[in-house]
Amino acid sequence: MKSPLLAFVLLLILGVTGKVWAQEDPGRTKIGKVQVTVYFATNGDPKAAGDRAEEISAETKSRLQNESRLKFSHYRAMGADTQPVFRSYENWAQPLKPSDEILLRFETRRQPVDESLTLDLELWLARKKILKTEVLLKPGRPLYVLGPEWRGGNLIVAVALAQ
Amino acid sequence: MNTNPDETRLALWLDDELSCEELAAMEAWAADKPGQFAAREELRGFRKMMSENLPVSEEPPYPDFFLSRVNQGIRDLQLEEEKAAAPAVAAPARAFWKSWLMPAAACAGMVFAFGIGKQSRNSSSSLTVVPALSPVLYTPEEGVDAEWISSKRTDATVIILQGVAAIPDTTDFSETVYVPTASEADRTATRDREPSDSSQQ
């Protein structure tokens, strides 16, 4: 009889302290979510991406092929990671877990307006900062970064707002 | 040896400002230059004419000046007394206006300023989302270049990295922990997003 009551009290204390902690640091407020997806794009054999890589939808394929610089015969989804955007802290996405070959650091310095977020982005490849930029992400309007070559194709890093 | 005088000494001699040895030296130099003596004589005549036609100094009309200042002071005092007497009659009306108009005007000004500030804050938020037409791309790695494209056909922002070292083919991503499902992988292609519940906090 005592142990359930004790557990309830402990949970209550933890909940209250957690809530107090969250209230104490408004900078950790989540103001959005970012999904980072890595595609393997190739004109060769898409099986080079491995058996676990998945085909992408016809809509995404058509969309990528509409841009001549991103036009390849085959695309495969290699991995994805969805991470929150904090009000005043940076965050990292690791789309190819557990590999840290591709990492994305992001933070916002402006209030989101109309579900749009302006992000400071850093793309890290092989633990080196390769690109730093600022991008406005709108719902349905992602950022595509044509990245390094790999196994006869290229990796494309897609950064988009997540629901 | 150059015995010609400089311009300063010549000007002093023409103005009769030299004396003793300097004057004797200049007289010796000009002895065979009748033109210089003629010039000095002309300047002497000019100075004489000026001294005869212009007084050395003109004394100010002290009595008139003193009386005019006294009269002006008297007039100023009279004007001040008249000004002091006039507001005493109109004072009640001005005090009445001041009693309620000035606080009301101050309140109206504060409300107006508050409204302007509120509107400017709302409008500034829309400015913050306007991105740079061509954002700054920084590529710290030597040999790496980036090209930014705003693709209308793809409805996306595209950055093309050039000069990036290829990932070795031996690198295996097959152990990727999370492979998105078809719907999740295609999330970046969603054009018509359903209205969110704004639960993004």
> Which CA distances in Å does A51 have to A141, B163, B174?
29, 29, 7
Q: How many domains does chain B have?
A: 3
Whether B115 is covered by a domain: the verdict is no
> Which CA distances in Å does A31 have to A23, B157, B189?
15, 22, 22
Whether B161 is covered by a domain: the verdict is yes
Q: Answer yes or no: are the C-beta atoms of A54 and B182 closer than 8 Å.
A: yes
- Dump pLDDT digits (tens) for A105-127: 999 988 888 889 999 999 999 99
CA distance A128 to A162: 26
Whether B30 is covered by a domain: the verdict is yes
> A2 falls in which pLDDT band (50, 70, 90)?
low
Which residue range is the domain that position B36 belongs to?
7-53
Whether B37 is covered by a domain: the verdict is yes
pLDDT above 60 for A138: yes
pLDDT of residue B92: 55
Whether B192 is covered by a domain: the verdict is no
> Which CA distances in Å does B130 have to A137, A159, B123?
11, 19, 12
Whether B68 is covered by a domain: the verdict is yes
Helix axes B7-14, B34-53, angle to 10 degrees: 50
CA distance A143 to A8: 46
State yes or no: ipTM above 0.95.
no
Does A131 contact B159 at a Cβ distance shorter than 8 Å? Answer: yes
pLDDT of residue A82: 94
The beta-carbon neighbor of B129 closest among A60, A116, A151 is: A116
What region, left, alpha or beta, does residue B184 occupy, with left being phi > 0 and alpha being psi -120 to 50 degrees? alpha
- Dump pLDDT digits (tens) for A61-111: 999 999 999 999 999 999 999 999 999 899 999 999 889 999 999 999 888
Supply B104's token pair. 């009301």
Residue of B nearest to A102 (CA): B167
Q: Is the domain of B16 the same as that of B48? A: yes
Q: Answer yes or no: are the C-beta atoms of A72 and A43 closer than 8 Å.
A: yes
CA distance B101 to B103: 6
Does any CB of chain B come closer than 8 Å to the CB of residue A97? yes
Whether B126 is covered by a domain: the verdict is no
pLDDT above 80 for A20: no
pLDDT of residue B60: 57
For residue A29, the chain B residues in CB contact (below 8 A) are 201
pLDDT of residue B93: 55
Residues with pLDDT less than 70, chain B: 1-3, 55-65, 87-98, 117-133, 176-201
Does B185 contact A80 at a Cβ distance shorter than 8 Å? Answer: yes
> Which CA distances in Å does A33 have to A24, A115, A123, B61?
22, 11, 17, 92
Whether B33 is covered by a domain: the verdict is yes
Q: Is the domain of B48 the same as that of B69? A: no
Residue of B nearest to A86 (CA): B201
| pTM for this predicted structure | 0.55
CA distance B140 to B154: 28
pLDDT above 80 for A59: yes
Q: Is the domain of B12 the same as that of B39? A: yes
For residue B177, the chain A residues in CB contact (below 8 A) are 79, 97-98
Shortest distance between the Cα of B136 and any Cα of chain A, in A, equals: 6
The beta-carbon neighbor of A79 closest among B128, B146, B173 is: B173
| A positions 64-93 inside 8 Å of B (CB) | 64, 66-67, 69-70, 77-81
The beta-carbon neighbor of B135 closest among A69, A135, A140 is: A135
